[in-house]
Chain A
Amino acid sequence: MMKWKRSAAVLAVLCLGLFCGYPMMNAQAPAKAKTSAPAEPKITVLNPLGTPPPIKLKTMAPRLDTLDGKTIYLVNDGFIGSDNLLYEMQDWFKANHPKTTTVYKRKGGGGFDSEDPALWQEMKEKADGIIIALGH
């Protein structure tokens, strides 16, 4: 009996301790959270980019009022398949715009983007419009 009473008393003290301690534990929780996650410090870093050039806007060439009676140059820049594509385009113009003249030219100069001054001069004199192929 005595043993039982002693055990009950110990249990009561433990429960009381737990009960009384709970608010303290609870009160400490926010304080602990505040100290465990401090705001990450900010740092300053440099911009890693190079400098792009300014853009100089160019005026586009005036458009044509009609394709009838006009000469369109079809220029092959040398990419594989451009020839067949432009030949097919030439056939389409013959069938659908018979009053339009098309002239097929293979651009010289050795590369897709190389200059061909002779052709540029010819087109300056004779072309009303230019189709150039192919961007791949």
Chain B
Amino acid sequence: MNKPAVPIVISEFYQQETEKARNEGLPGLRTQWIRGPVWAKTREELRRDVINGNNPITGKPVMQEIVEKFTKPLTAEEKKTGEIIRTKGPATFTDTPEKLQKMFLDNRWTDFLPIVLPTESLVNEMLKGTSHSPDETVGKMSPTQTGTYFEDWTYTVKDVAVNAVMAGCKPEYLPLILAVAATGKEAISVSDNSFVEALVVNGNIRDEIGLNYGVGAMGPYAHANTTIGRAWSLLSINLGNCGKVGTTYMGVVGNPMNLINIVIAENEKESPWEPFSVRKGFKKGENVVSLLEGWGVLSAANWKAASWGPVMDYPKAIKDIFDQQGMLFGSCAILSPPIANFVKNAGYQTAQDFEKWVAPVPQFPMAKMAPPVAKAVPAAATEGQTPAPKPKAPGGMGGMSNVAVIVTGGTNNNYYSVGGLRYLRSVQVDPWR
């Protein structure tokens, strides 16, 4: 377009957007930093804090800076063209184990826990888990919705194996990890929502590699569940440049589940319904991993645990929670086999029947959080002012109501979890053997 432009960004994103502009080839991008947040502020507040306020980074008046950004001639630096080649750095590092652990930690190549140092021999052992060439490109990843906003980093089978070693994985886990890595879906999203990611694994591979789908299925109570989940996060940090606070991670309150994610092997044997993967179009017995993303799950409705028989209406209890929470980023119910059987016996012969019934009414939760009308400056309140529009639902967000019902866990009691997880996609594992 070749027109001078000034993007307005709240100063909390200074680090992130400065890096982003540099990576996009515009290191001198004249962004105007303002005091945040803008969301939910009245026009009077915006006038005071932003229009008549100062840039929190430079301390200078915002509007004066905007005018200068349009009119100040470009510097020699801003006129530069060309290409800057970047590499991942040296292929290897040599030092004592103690110093290497520190180096990995200092460079933020870890999740802040000690790692298994990826020696050549351990990585070669890991690579025995796949027939694919170590140099084969697996995919690309960025800190959010690969291919849209951030730059994409690329990685090979060997790169994935290195991170699998670091996480403590066994070679037999590698095909599953490669299948996940090949989707390009990051385990640690940049989003300020503090998202968590989840995997649902179906097929015989669950038993082959020892994934737990009995008691404690969603927790860190099996080597495979724990280390596979950790590997996804570590490879996201190192192969997708994710999880760097201030630049590629902006989750407002963070999410402890980012450490090992939610790895769910479905309890197909005890489930009264078809496996999750079959409902997504795969054959029964096929090794499939499905990816979900959202706010996470919580143990639910246990205040009704002492109610039995007709008083304890689990389908209704689950639906009430879904409706109340208003799932902007999908709805998910993770049912123990007893609860799933209860739901089936309540008349839902298939999981799809239940998913259809329990789905929240399409809604627009963000609309509830729009700036308060009563506090906004009324339309044409002051002569010469641009009238404020009638508040309405903003475009480009919300409306998603994906529902996923998954069966896992033990049969020792009637517990279940619900929460916000939206289904993303499913992929086969075996092509990565």
Chain A: residues with CB nearer than 8 A to chain B? 40-67, 72, 78-85, 87-92, 94, 96-97, 104, 106, 108-114, 120, 123-124, 127-136
Interface size range on B against A: 35 or more
Residues of B within 8 A of A46 (CB): 91-92, 118-120, 123, 158, 162
Tell me if B353 is interfacial: C-beta within 8 Å of chain A.
no
B23 and A55 within 8 A (CB): yes
Q: Which of B34-53 contact A (CB under 8 A)?
A: 36-43, 46-47, 50-51
Residues of A within 8 A of B155 (CB): 50-51
A136 and B120 within 8 A (CB): no
Alpha-carbon distance A136/B30, docked complex (angstroms): 17
Alpha-carbon distance A135/B10, docked complex (angstroms): 6
Residues of B within 8 A of A128 (CB): 3-4
B96 to chain A, nearest CB (A): 4
Alpha-carbon distance A133/B31, docked complex (angstroms): 11
B73 and A130 within 8 A (CB): no
Alpha-carbon distance A110/B87, docked complex (angstroms): 36
B9 and A48 within 8 A (CB): no
Residues of B within 8 A of A49 (CB): 88-89, 109, 153, 159, 238-239
Partner of A81, one of B2, B46, B98: B46
Residue of B nearest to A109 (CB): B396
B388 and A51 within 8 A (CB): no
Tell me if B83 is interfacial: C-beta within 8 Å of chain A.
yes
Residues of A within 8 A of B152 (CB): 53
Residues of B within 8 A of A89 (CB): 51, 63
Could you give, for residues 74-108 of chain B, a 1 whenever the CB lies within 8 Å of some chain A CB and a 0 otherwise?
10001111111111111111111110100010000
Residue of A nearest to B67 (CB): A67
Contact status of A131 and B5, CB under 8 A, knowing A50-B155, A81-B46, A84-B46 = yes
A131 and B84 within 8 A (CB): no
Can you give 26 A-B contacts (C-beta < 8 A)?
Answer: A43-B97, A44-B94, A44-B119, A45-B93, A45-B119, A50-B241, A58-B26, A60-B29, A60-B30, A60-B78, A61-B5, A62-B2, A78-B395, A80-B371, A81-B41, A81-B371, A84-B41, A88-B43, A88-B51, A91-B47, A91-B386, A106-B395, A110-B395, A130-B5, A135-B31, A136-B9
Tell me if B225 is interfacial: C-beta within 8 Å of chain A.
no
A54 and B84 within 8 A (CB): yes
Residues of A within 8 A of B397 (CB): 78
Most-contacted residue by chain A among B50, B87, B163 (CB, 10 A): B50
Alpha-carbon distance A129/B333, docked complex (angstroms): 50
B13 and A132 within 8 A (CB): no
A128 to chain B, nearest CB (A): 7
Partner of A85, one of B1, B31, B38, B385: B38
A42 and B94 within 8 A (CB): yes
Alpha-carbon distance A43/B123, docked complex (angstroms): 14
Partner of B6, one of A53, A65, A106, A129: A129
Residue of A nearest to B100 (CB): A45
Alpha-carbon distance A57/B123, docked complex (angstroms): 36
A136 and B97 within 8 A (CB): no
A83 and B389 within 8 A (CB): yes
A2 to chain B, nearest CB (A): 64
A50 and B154 within 8 A (CB): yes
Residue of B nearest to A66 (CB): B71
B49 to chain A, nearest CB (A): 10
Residue of B nearest to A72 (CB): B70
Alpha-carbon distance A122/B8, docked complex (angstroms): 21
Contact status of A84 and B376, CB under 8 A, knowing A56-B25, A57-B83, A78-B396 = yes
Partner of A82, one of B22, B38, B100, B163: B38
Contact status of A85 and B141, CB under 8 A, knowing A54-B86, A60-B74 = no
Most-contacted residue by chain A among B22, B66, B79, B81 (CB, 10 A): B66
Tell me if B59 is interfacial: C-beta within 8 Å of chain A.
no
A41 and B96 within 8 A (CB): yes
Residues of A within 8 A of B369 (CB): 80
